[in-house]
Amino acid sequence: MKNSFVSTSFLFIVFVVMSIVVQSCTSGEEWCCDEEILLPPDTVRVPPVIIEEPVIPVDYKVTIQIGAFRDETLANAFYSKAQNVLSMRVDKTLDRNDGLFKITVGVFDKIDAANNYLRTVINAGYSDAFVRDLK
């Protein structure tokens, strides 16, 4: 009895599923079976968008820092030597934020000019030199 119930249930389920499949796409419904499926292309080419932003002149100056010292005597010795070695103006200033005496060379309006002179400074023996903004 149990076997016959399982067989009947199975046949009923198969019948229902087949009815749904056959009913879901009949010849009277064109949208189901005849619809063309459009796939997106692999690559979409989008023309570049060029945004021109106005150039705003900025009064921005940079310098080259060649040293920083806590001890003023060491800073003075380094400063004097740099004045003799380098052709540009050398400055020594006390940074009140960190308490260091900073030795800098030159004042530049353009970063390219500062980077060009930075090579000269490094070749003169100041290998730790770097360009920074002038505060």
* Pairwise CA distance, residues 72 & 99, whole Å: 10
**Tens place of pLDDT per residue across the chain (135 aa):** 555 655 666 666 766 666 666 665 555 555 555 566 666 666 666 677 777 877 777 678 999 999 999 999 999 999 999 999 999 999 999 999 999 999 999 999 999 999 999 999 999 999 999 999 987
pTM to 2 decimal places: 0.57
DSSP state of 70: S
Domain 62-133 matching CATH 3.30.70.1070: the answer reads yes
Tracing tokens 């390219």 back to the chain, one arrives at 112
Task: Tell me the C-alpha to C-alpha distance, in Å, between residue 57 and each of 34, 53, 54, 60, 109.
Answer: 63, 12, 9, 9, 11
71 burial level (CB within 10 Å; 0-12, 13-18, 19+): exposed
Q: Token digits for 5?
A: 């119930």
